[in-house]
Amino acid sequence: MQPNDPLILVINCGSSSLKFAVFRHSASAPVLSGLAESLGKAEARITFKEGEDIGKGKDGYSVLDFKDHATKVTQSLDGGSHSEALDVLLKNLELRGWLRQIIAIGHRVVHGGERFKESIKIDESVLADVDACSHLAPLHNPANVLGVRTAMAKLPAVPNVAVFDTAFHQSIPPAAYTYALPQRLYREHGVRRYGFHGTSHRYVAEEAVRLLKLDPADHGIVIAHLGNGASATAVLNGKSVDTSMGLTPLEGLVMGTRSGDVDPGIVGYLADTLHLGVDGIMGILNNESGLLGISELSNDCRTLELAARDGHPGAKLALDVFAHRLARYIGALSMSLKRLDAVVFTGGIGENSATVRRMTIERLGALGLRLDEHANTNTIVGKAGRITTSTKPMAAVIPTNEEWMIARDAANVVMVKQGGAV
């Protein structure tokens, strides 16, 4: 890397964690990435992973996902906070001589409500509106705001850019985002479907057109972003037209610890039978359900696959329910398209679990999908490729790169302000 290369710092701040990555303005692989975790606790630590210029793997997979091909160094933060984690990160960048090369800081922001339809430079007005959306994403937005304020305090001369999970889904039509509830709840309280994982879905949608040789102006795909959080989105000619997550990231697919869709009557039933308040019920739905709740073993798909092979009934049921719900959503979302050209798997599970992909595609025979067993088994660890013998529609795996999309948006916002674009 050249001494004067412009750099973009990407920050994804959670309630007790801080993910980060550093990109050159024109490269999709980070030169440095890492994670500060357990912040505020005695075991707080920060891990740095060298990127593209120092020991990056040849497959181009994002080192933020902590694959084995990257060199990493971990140090204790001794109970440190977000501010202290950022101090350590900035000191690391300063020692490398990179601090003065940072031209923008891109922040992942989970919920932007209806105001934010694209990425935007952050000022106090923007930050106030992001904070105002915290009631829609109470586990995410307060942490995102904390990350922005911390970055502003540490590097006051560097512009900060918000990149919203919800922005890509602002093209969804009213028929798809409206709940069958009294409309005053929408008008007065913003109750509607927003959708999430938009940055990932947007990246994969662009890559699908390129890699699968689709017509940019005439195509229809369903993208399944599968990880501890999971969502599926129908994309028509590059625009989101329907998605599985709703007002919050709780709706839709089965997830690691989140229930996804349940009968709303369950809330009242549990309140009566278990004598729980709203917080207690939401705790069950968000933290004790999903793969963990069904299997009574783990929320980790890898653990469940191994256990299922050994005959664990809970693990097998969890995977069956996961694949069944996913296939059902893919079929439903296909109806929001003119036609289905491709189903695309991405995210940690989508990219690496040949088992989940096989189980899902076997349930999609009615759509004409036929699995290529060899291709499916060999498409893992950052590889992209088609995994069906069928071509219309086809299924494929495309690794996501949310951090690069955040970096690209941040650079573009800053460069546009200065009269240029990346």
- Position 2 scores a pLDDT of 63
Looking at this protein, which amino acid is placed at residue 291?
Answer: L
Of these residues, 59, 87, 165, 300, which one is catalytic? Answer: 165
- Position 61 scores a pLDDT of 28
Q: What is the CATH number of domain 7-164?
A: 3.30.420.40
| Cβ neighbours for 11, distance < 8 A, ≥ 6 positions apart | 18, 19, 20, 105, 106, 107, 108, 147, 151
- 417 — pLDDT class (breaks 50, 70, 90): low
The answer on pLDDT for 340 being more than 60 is yes
- 27 — pLDDT class (breaks 50, 70, 90): confident
- Ranges for all domains in the chain classified under CATH 3.30.420.40: 7-164, 214-402
**Cβ pair 399, 416 in contact under 8 A:** no
Q: What is the mean pLDDT of the chain?
A: 91
- Position 378 scores a pLDDT of 95
Q: What mean pLDDT is predicted for residues 35-63?
A: 67
Query: Could you give the CA distance from residue 129 to residue 304 in angstroms, rounded to a whole number?
Result: 41
- Position 187 scores a pLDDT of 95
- Position 68 scores a pLDDT of 44
- 382 — pLDDT class (breaks 50, 70, 90): confident
- Which residue has better confidence, 15 or 304? 304
Q: Each residue of 199-230: pLDDT tens digit?
A: 999 999 999 999 999 999 999 999 999 999 99
**Cβ pair 256, 292 in contact under 8 A:** yes
Q: Each residue of 57-110: pLDDT tens digit?
A: 333 323 333 344 458 899 999 888 888 999 999 999 999 999 999 999 999 999
- 4 — pLDDT class (breaks 50, 70, 90): confident
Q: Which CATH class is domain 214-402?
A: alpha beta
For 59-74, letters b (16+ CB in 10 Å) and e give eebbbbbeeeebeeee
Q: What is the pTM of this model?
A: 0.90
Three-state secondary structure call for residue 310: coil
Q: Each residue of 286-306: pLDDT tens digit?
A: 999 999 999 999 999 999 999
80-to-107, 108, 268 alpha-carbon distances in Å: 21, 22, 41
Question: Catalytic: 165?
Answer: yes
- Position 78 scores a pLDDT of 87
- Position 179 scores a pLDDT of 98
Query: Could you give the CA distance from residue 289 to residue 260 in angstroms, rounded to a whole number?
Result: 9
The overall longest dimension of the chain from CA atoms, in Å, is 65
